[in-house]
Homo-oligomer: A and B are copies of this chain.
Amino acid sequence: MRQFQIFGLQTALIKPGDSLLEHLYAAFDTQGLVLQDHDIIVLAESAVATAQGRIIELQSIQPSEEAREVALQYDIEPALAEVVIQESDAIVGGIPGFLLSIKSGHLLPNAGVDGSNAPEGHVTLLPADPDALAHDLRKTILEKTGCVVAILIIDSRTHPMRYGSGGVAIACSGIPAIIDERGRKDLFGRELKVTRRAVADNIASAAELVMGESDEQTPAALVRGLDIEFGEFEGIDLIAPDECIFIGSLKKAYITPP
């Protein structure tokens, strides 16, 4: 029987310069958990960004003319618009309160710049080089404990035309982020043509069920018992815009942003 378990990991408030590993080890100790081979550790991007010091005080930002225009058009604070523009590779549109950004091949609101769980008047940016950080954490844990684990750094996203945010992985080290089932057989013995499973995103969503986005201080989770291959897997393959059914279908608007 395929089965697995997920535990929320509660930590003290994470501050710039903190060691994420020390927070994790303390959470394990406090909760009576012992790290095992093939554990998957899931970290919220906001906790990672905070530890990295990726926090900006909005008052320190001088909005450009472009930022002021975008801020007016989409009903956003001009300083926030400036930070989002600086953090984005491209802005492809927006709705009141949010810009839709492309950043490092990811499509996401406000380039991941977020005022929740940041000190008053501040915003957190997305973590710097999350893939490298996930890799380093995995290797350090292997050296220090001998345990073969995987590390995911996750963010929240919405699906088109659905309410509510779920988890997606922005970094994945130690397990494949996507499992390609093309070539496998279906129930009737025919080859599957398009099925790729977003395993890392599914783990991210599962972890969000035990992690807190408000005052719960549960910025991490432990996934144990999942039947998946562990090894030297790194990163998350991204799709070309035209291959994406949403962007591909609506590409006139995508190609000529406002």
Measured CB to CB, the residues of A under 8 A from B are 1-8, 10, 13, 31, 92-95, 97-98, 100, 102, 105-107, 109, 115-120, 157-168, 177-179, 181, 184-190, 192-199, 201-206, 208-210, 213-215, 217-218, 226-227, 237-239, 241-254
Contact = CB atoms under 8 A, between A and B. Distances in A.
A117 B218 CA distance: 39
Contacts of A10: 1
Nearest to A206: B206
A250 B92 contact: yes
Contacts of A158: 198, 244-245
13 contacts: A4-B5, A92-B250, A95-B242, A100-B245, A105-B161, A119-B188, A159-B198, A161-B246, A161-B247, A163-B178, A187-B215, A204-B205, A206-B209
Nearest to A201: B166
Contacts of A159: 157, 159, 168, 198, 201
A215 B195 CA distance: 13
A254 B250 contact: yes
A215 B189 CA distance: 7
